A and B are shown apart, each in its own frame.
Chain A
Amino acid sequence: MQKSPGTPSLEAADLRCVRGERTLFAGLSFALKGGELLRIGGPNGSGKTSLLRIACGLLEPDRGEVRWGGENVRRLKEEFWVRLLYIGHANALKDDLTAAENLGVACALAGIVADDRQIGEALRMLGLAGRENLPTRVLSQGQRRRVALARLALGADTPLWVLDEPFTALDAAAIDCVQSLIGGHVSRGGGVLYTTHYEASIGAAVSRRIDLAGS
């Protein structure tokens, strides 16, 4: 499995998403190459999360397809997912496990090789020094979000990051840290697709924005 950042290219062609009776978006196309930052904007309920889930291959679009290097992501499966780091609005943490254990499990699942030392470093980078071995049950909402986002510090070799509202519940210091992680990834040649309501200032050579209209 080769995982060097390389030049990833994610293409979405003519996507349509219908949830229930409503068409969230239709005829949506975009491309995301390595070294690019793409922000999805729009009001609540406009389909941002659905779009990210479609981009990851979790959700099948009602029309169109998402391609990675020219191949449909739902056909590539693990071959695509090993190059993807997805952080959804749910933190994917177990209350009864410690922060370090949770991060270890998340890395193992994503195919990221990280030893205990690297995991400790990642947690400290996100400002969780001294809390590595506390059960996540006792952490605050913002600290739990930081544990989930600590994967970014270990996911430098994963070319595509898809982040759903990464800045929710974070304080200013943590936002700065996550912004610099995202900026660093883009400057290394990785692609980042994300949504946020926060006016982030991320230094990136190519930064674009797509706004979903909602209804």
Chain B
Amino acid sequence: MIAALRCVILRDLRLAARRSSDVLTVVLFFVIVVSLFPLGIGPEPKLLRTVAPGVLWVAALLASMLALGRVFAADHADGTLEQMMLGATPLGLVVAAKVFAHWLISGLPLVLISPVLALQFDLSQEVLGVLALSLALGTPVLSLIGAIGAGLTLGLRGAGTLLSLLVLPLYVPVLIIGAGAADAAASGLGGNAQLLLLGAMLIFAGAFAPWAAAAALRISVE
């Protein structure tokens, strides 16, 4: 069972490595959207510092949204998803492995690059750290919630738009708490409370979202 999960994760990473344009588009999208704001708002440091957490979080959220459509689509089209459903490993665990691989490909690069991008907004070092940490805890939650939406909209026409409508409202709490962590750190309160809440969300989503996504996939494939 462990071998099967490791195999699924390695397979997805290998596929991403052989088709690196998919990964690059997500990261470039994130970089460009974040960089547009200082250009559009103007070089007012105080204003930039205020909007920075929100801008980075919304950009990360949209970037992870962009990658979501691909989580199950290719496996559905070529029949691999059916094999996963008829496999020896429970589908929920396979989905969890796939979501983890998806996050490594489309979420982790955003987390790693966010401190560099945040420099454009004149954030202090401490806030930078809290912001990156909030993204590190928050983006896996986005991937997990998104997987449920991706499962439900699998194989539908116009799945992309429907997926956004379905998933974006569910992202709201993560966005508020995630951006709130950096805000709290900036105002000197420390972002610990928000980070702990994000951690709790991650544990909760990690435990339940894969099973919900697996159920959604079974419905979609029928």
Contacts and interface: CB of A to CB of B under 8 A. Distances in A.
Contact of A90 (B15, B79, B94): B79
B80 A111 contact: no
B88 A92 contact: no
Nearest to B221: A58
Interface string B188-215: 0000000000000000000000000000
B162 interface: no
Contacts, number: 82
Interface string A73-108: 000011001101010111111101100010011101
A135 B14 CA distance: 12
Contact of B222 (A58, A89, A91, A92): A58
A60 interface: yes
A129 interface: no
Contact of B87 (A81, A88, A90): A81
B21 to A, nearest CB: 12
Contact of A94 (B78, B88, B90): B78
Given A104-B7, A108-B7, A97 B82 contact: no
A109 B78 contact: no
Nearest to A77: B90
A215 to B, nearest CB: 22
Nearest to A111: B88
A109 B222 contact: no
Contact of B86 (A81, A96, A104, A108): A81
B78 A110 contact: no
A77 B87 CA distance: 9
Contacts of A94: 11, 15, 74, 78, 80
Interface in B53-90: 74, 78-80, 82-90
B75 to A, nearest CB: 8
A59 interface: yes
Interface of B: 1, 3-4, 7-8, 11, 14-15, 18-19, 74, 78-80, 82-90, 94, 221-222
Interface of A: 1, 56-60, 77-78, 81-82, 84, 86, 88-94, 96-97, 101, 104-106, 108-111, 113
Given A57-B86, A88-B79, A93-B80, 14 more contacts: A56-B86, A58-B85, A58-B86, A81-B86, A84-B86, A91-B78, A93-B78, A97-B14, A105-B8, A109-B88, A109-B89, A109-B94, A111-B87, A111-B88
15 contacts: A56-B86, A58-B86, A58-B221, A78-B87, A81-B88, A92-B79, A92-B83, A93-B78, A96-B15, A97-B14, A97-B15, A105-B8, A109-B7, A109-B8, A113-B3
